[in-house]
């Protein structure tokens, strides 16, 4: 039998220990995978529409030539009044998804949105990613904003739009149990990038058709410029009406009520 040198045998025994230590160090260097990471893409919009067709929507009927203009992140005194002025001039009604803390600060604008015949939806209290919230945190975002809207205009909105359009299937099921409708979109203007009016119009034209829900913004963060949205809006309205589209609110498009 061949006799190995003692030093070589010691090295053989030590190698697995060194490898294990290296593996542990590498694992520790990797970011921890959280439950939110596992569920960030819990279910695609297509699957959500298929599974919860009455609760999760991205468009209305394709058989009637109607389109709904929707505006997120309201109210914002920099941009919302200008958008309301244009809608009033053209006698167009739209749907505004409001953020709770903004609605609390600018109740006069929420009242104006309601007074001028537009529909108000719930866009969370402070714009978090719903996919990273616990059930209790998610429900508080909806409930706190709903209370502010109800106290301001006298109804609890049926429509919820999740920030970034993302939420969990469990949150859709909760919405279904409580008579809400999750209203996302099928036409994205991408105006939040401070896009030019030409770019915004091009983005909208690309996918718009009968029954479309168009996403635009009536409010933004620090440094966000929505002047392109405001400049594009008259041209958009005129173009759609010339093409025979009727511009309606979400309840009209979907055949439901604004309040739950």
Catalytic residue positions? 72, 217
Distance (Å, whole) CA 129 – CA 181? 18
Sign of the Cα pseudo-torsion (51, 53, 54, 57, in order): positive
Angstrom distance (rounded) from CA 258 to CA 260: 7
């Amino acid at each position: 039998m061949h006799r190995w040198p003692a030093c070589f045998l010691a090295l053989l025994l030590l190698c697995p220990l060194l490898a294990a230590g290296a593996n542990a160090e590498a694992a520790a260097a990797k970011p921890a995978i959280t439950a939110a990471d596992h569920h960030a893409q819990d279910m695609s919009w297509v699957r959500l529409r298929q599974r919860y067709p009455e609760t999760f929507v991205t468009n209305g009927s394709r058989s009637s030539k109607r389109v709904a203009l929707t505006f997120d992140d309201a109210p914002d005194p920099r941009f919302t009044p200008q958008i309301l002025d244009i809608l009033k001039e053209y006698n167009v009604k739209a749907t505004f998804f409001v953020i709770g803390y903004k609605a609390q600060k600018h109740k006069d604008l929420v009242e104006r949105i309601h007074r001028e015949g537009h529909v108000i939806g719930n866009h969370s209290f402070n714009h978090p990613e719903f996919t990273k919230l616990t059930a209790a945190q998610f429900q508080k975002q909806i409930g706190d904003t709903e209370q502010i809207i109800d106290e301001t205009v006298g109804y609890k909105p049926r429509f919820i739009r999740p920030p970034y359009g993302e939420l969990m299937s469990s949150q859709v099921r909760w919405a279904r149990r409580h008579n809400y409708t999750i209203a996302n979109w099928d036409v994205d203007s991408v105006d939040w990038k401070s896009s030019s009016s030409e770019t915004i119009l091009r983005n909208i034209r690309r996918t718009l058709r009968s029954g479309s829900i168009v996403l635009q913004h009536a409010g933004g963060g620090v440094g966000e410029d929505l002047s392109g949205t405001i400049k594009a809006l008259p041209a958009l309205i005129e173009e759609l009406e010339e093409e025979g589209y009727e511009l309606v609110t979400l309840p009209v498009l979907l055949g439901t009520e604004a309040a739950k």
